[in-house]
A and B are shown apart, each in its own frame.
Chain A
Amino acid sequence: MEQSWETVVGLEVHVQLNTATKQFCGDANIFGEDPNLHTSSISLAHPGTLPNINQTSIQSAIKLALAIGAEINYENRFDRKHYFYADLPKGYQITQDNLPICVGGSLELDSGKKIRFHHVHMEEDAGKSIHHLDDKASFIDLNRAGVPLLELVTEPDFRSGDEVLEFISKLQQIVRYLNISDGNMEQGSLRCDCNVSVMPVGSDTYGERCEIKNMNSKKFAKQAVEYESKRQIRAIANGEKITMQTLHFDPSNGTTTPTRDKETAHDYRYLPDPDLPPILITEDLVSELKTKMPLMPEALKAQLMVEHKLSSEQAYIIASSLDSSTYFFEILKSHKKPKPLANFFINTLIPYAKANEIEISAINVAPNNWSEYLSLIETEKVNRKDASDKLFPEMLSKPSVKPLQLAEGLDIIQSNNPNINDQIISEVLAAFPEEVKKYKGGKKALVGFFIGEAMKKAQGKANPKTLKSDLIKALSS
C-alpha cells in the first residue's frame, strides 16, 4: 500500500511595531522614506553609545502577550546575536535568547484547532541592502536598522498550507486590533519563515525540516508550504534523505530552491547584552494595559451575533477589521437597526472602500449622516436604487451637506401622496386605451408594460410599491 504523508509546519513570524521611534534610540520609525534619513550615533553603532529601550515597544509586546494568552516573564532580558553583515552596523543584533518577554499562548483557527506559540521575543530589525544599483557595490540604507520587531515562534502545529494562510490572516487582524503594527506583508511589516517537514500519517516523529525564508505574502506562504511538502514526499519516495536547509520561494514559478548561505556555519555566540539592564515589568503595568485592551475580533463577532442578532457571516465581515467595526458601532449609536446597517456595510460601504483602496475610517462622512441616509431608504422617501446610485456618491462628494437636502437637490424624493399616483395612473391609462382594452379582455401580462410607463412618468418621485398596487386597482375597476 502506498504510504500517505502528513505535512508539518511551524512558523516564525516577524511583526514590525508601529512605534514612533526605534527599539533602542530616538530615530523615527517610518517606512518608505529616502535612504538614511533616520539614523543616529546609536543606530550607526558609533563607539561609546548606549542603547535605551523604547517603552512603547514593551507595552506593545505585553498587549500581544495578553491577546494570545501567553505567560509574561516579569523579568526578561536582551542578548546579543553575533553575525557580520553590511546592514548590521554593530556586528550583532539585540534580541532575546534565554529570557523572552513571554512564553506559551495560542491562537484558535475557525475549525476550533489551537495553534500554540512557543514564545514571543523582542528584537531589532537590520538595515536594508540594495544590490542592484551598482555593478561593484552594494548600497546600505539604515532607516530600518533598529526598528522594533516582535518575533513569534509557533509550535509545529500546522498540518496544511490553508491553516498557515488562515493563521496569518488572524494574526494580522490581532495586531491591527491591538494597533501595535499595520500587519502589512507587502511592505514587510509582517514577514514569516515557514519550517516544513513531512511524516507518515499517524507517526509522532517529525521528519527533518527545511526552512523557507522571508515570505512576504500569505498566499505565497500557503503555496510554498504546499510545494515544499510535495517536494519532500517525492524526494523520500525516490529514496533521498531530507537534509536541513534554508530555502527561497520563487513566486514566479511556485518552487523552492536552496539559498546561497550567508555564512558557512552559523555560530551566533549569544551572550547577555551588558549595555541593557534587565526589563522589569510590574504587575501594575500589566493590569493597566489589560484595562485598555480592545475587544478582540472573535469576541466582537460573538457580540454582534448575540446582542445585535447579525448572521455569522455578517458578523464575520464587520468584525474583520477594527476599522470597520469601530465605524459600525459609531453609526449604530444613532441608527439602532443593526441588520439594515450591516447590509449597508457589506453591500455598499466596504466594497466602496475596497475599490478605492482606503480605510473605512477615511470616509469623510459623519456617522449620523449615514444614519439619516438609511432612514430615507427605510421610510421609502428615497428608493434603494437611487440611494446607492445617486445619493451615496453625492454624500461622499459633499460630506458636510445633510442627506435629505442632497436628495431634494437630486430630485429623488418619493412622494407617498396618493394624488400623485392617481394623476400618473390616469395619464398612463388615457395614453394607451388599446392596451387597457386588451388588459381588460384578459391579457394580464400587460401589467408590466403599464408599470414601466407609470415609472417613467414618475421619474422616481412616486413610491413604486404603492404606485403598482394603485395601478392594478385602477385597471381592475
Chain B
Amino acid sequence: MEINEELILKLEKLSRLNLSQEDRTVIKDDLKSILNMIDKLQEVDTENVEPLIYLNQEKYEWRPDEVSNELPRRDALKNAPAANEEYFSVPKVLNI
C-alpha cells in the first residue's frame, strides 16, 4: 500500500484529527515503517495456519441478565468536557 498525501488526509478525516503539515510528514514516515514491518511478516508461510483472532480461547461465561454497577448520574456526567444537570453536551450536530 502506498502511503501518500491522499491516504493521510482520509485517515485524518476518519479519526477526526487535524494535523499540521509537519505532523503529516512524521506520520507518513511512521506508517511507512509500520507497513514495512507488516510486509516482512507477510513473508512467513501461513498457508495451513488458522488465523488467531483471540488470545484467550477459554470458554467464556455469559453474564446473567441482572442490573449491576450503574453509575449515579452525577458521577456519569462528572468527567464529561461539557454537561448540564441531565445531559452530556456536545457542539450542535444538527440544526433543527
Q: Which residue of B lies closest to A17 (CB)?
A: B65
With A269-B14, A277-B56 given, name 8 new contacts (CB 8 A): A35-B86, A131-B93, A137-B92, A140-B89, A141-B87, A142-B76, A274-B53, A278-B54
- Contacting pair B65 A20 (CB below 8 A): yes
Binding stretch for chain B, among A25-33, A108-116, A352-360, A371-379 = A25-33
A28 to chain B, nearest CB (A): 5
**Would you call A313 an interface residue if the criterion is a C-beta within 8 Å of the partner chain's C-beta atoms?**
no
- Contacting pair A26 B67 (CB below 8 A): yes
Give the tally of cross-chain contacts (CB within 8 A): 127
- Contacting pair B87 A35 (CB below 8 A): yes
User: What is A's interface to B at a CB cutoff of 8 Å?
Assistant: 19-21, 25-28, 34-42, 44, 52-58, 77, 82, 84-86, 129-142, 264, 267, 269, 272, 274, 277-278, 280
Q: Which residue of A lies closest to B77 (CB)?
A: A36
Which residues of chain A come closer than 8 Å to B69, judged between CB atoms?
A: 25-27, 40-42
**Residue from B13, B54, B91 in contact with A136 in the complex, judged by beta carbons closer than 8 Å:** B91
Alpha-carbon gap, A131 to B82, bound state (A): 15
**Would you call B96 an interface residue if the criterion is a C-beta within 8 Å of the partner chain's C-beta atoms?**
yes
15 residue pairs A–B, Cβ–Cβ below 8 Å: A26-B67, A28-B67, A34-B86, A35-B73, A55-B63, A82-B14, A84-B16, A137-B89, A139-B88, A140-B90, A141-B87, A264-B13, A277-B54, A277-B56, A277-B57
Q: Interface of chain B, helix or strand or loop or mixed?
A: loop
Which residues of chain B come closer than 8 Å to A53, judged between CB atoms?
A: 60, 62-63
- Contacting pair A130 B65 (CB below 8 A): no
Which residues of chain B come closer than 8 Å to A141, judged between CB atoms?
A: 86-88
- Contacting pair B63 A274 (CB below 8 A): no
- Contacting pair A39 B71 (CB below 8 A): yes
Q: Which residue of A lies closest to B94 (CB)?
A: A131
**Would you call B95 an interface residue if the criterion is a C-beta within 8 Å of the partner chain's C-beta atoms?**
yes
- Contacting pair A44 B76 (CB below 8 A): yes
- Contacting pair B87 A58 (CB below 8 A): no
- Contacting pair B71 A56 (CB below 8 A): no
- Contacting pair B88 A140 (CB below 8 A): yes
For chain B, the bracket of interface size reads 35 or more
Which residues of chain A come closer than 8 Å to B55, judged between CB atoms?
A: 274
- Contacting pair A274 B93 (CB below 8 A): no
Which residues of chain B come closer than 8 Å to A28, judged between CB atoms?
A: 67, 70
B50 to chain A, nearest CB (A): 13
Which residues of chain B come closer than 8 Å to A140, judged between CB atoms?
A: 87-90
Alpha-carbon gap, A280 to B59, bound state (A): 8
Q: Which residue of A lies closest to B53 (CB)?
A: A272
Which residues of chain B come closer than 8 Å to A274, judged between CB atoms?
A: 53-55
Residues 41-73 of chain B: 1 if any A CB is under 8 Å from the residue's CB, otherwise 0?
A: 000000000000111111110111111111101
Alpha-carbon gap, A129 to B82, bound state (A): 15
Alpha-carbon gap, A192 to B90, bound state (A): 28
A55 to chain B, nearest CB (A): 4
- Contacting pair A138 B90 (CB below 8 A): yes
Closest 10 interchain pairs by CB? Answer: A26-B68, A55-B62, A139-B87, A56-B65, A140-B88, A277-B60, A86-B90, A138-B93, A52-B63, A39-B76
- Contacting pair A138 B94 (CB below 8 A): yes
Which residues of chain A come closer than 8 Å to B77, judged between CB atoms?
A: 36
Q: Which residue of A lies closest to B73 (CB)?
A: A36
Which residues of chain B (19-40) have a CB below 8 Å from chain A?
none
A26-B14 contact, Cβ under 8 Å, with A34-B86, A139-B88: no
Q: Which residue of B lies closest to A58 (CB)?
A: B62
**Residue from A36, A44, A280 in contact with B87 in the complex, judged by beta carbons closer than 8 Å:** A36
A21-B67 contact, Cβ under 8 Å, with A35-B86, A58-B62: yes
B62 to chain A, nearest CB (A): 4
Which residues of chain B come closer than 8 Å to A52, judged between CB atoms?
A: 62-63
Q: Which residue of B lies closest to A260 (CB)?
A: B94
Alpha-carbon gap, A183 to B19, bound state (A): 46
Which residues of chain B come closer than 8 Å to A55, judged between CB atoms?
A: 62-65
- Contacting pair B73 A131 (CB below 8 A): no
Which residues of chain A come closer than 8 Å to B89, judged between CB atoms?
A: 134, 137-140
Alpha-carbon gap, A132 to B90, bound state (A): 13
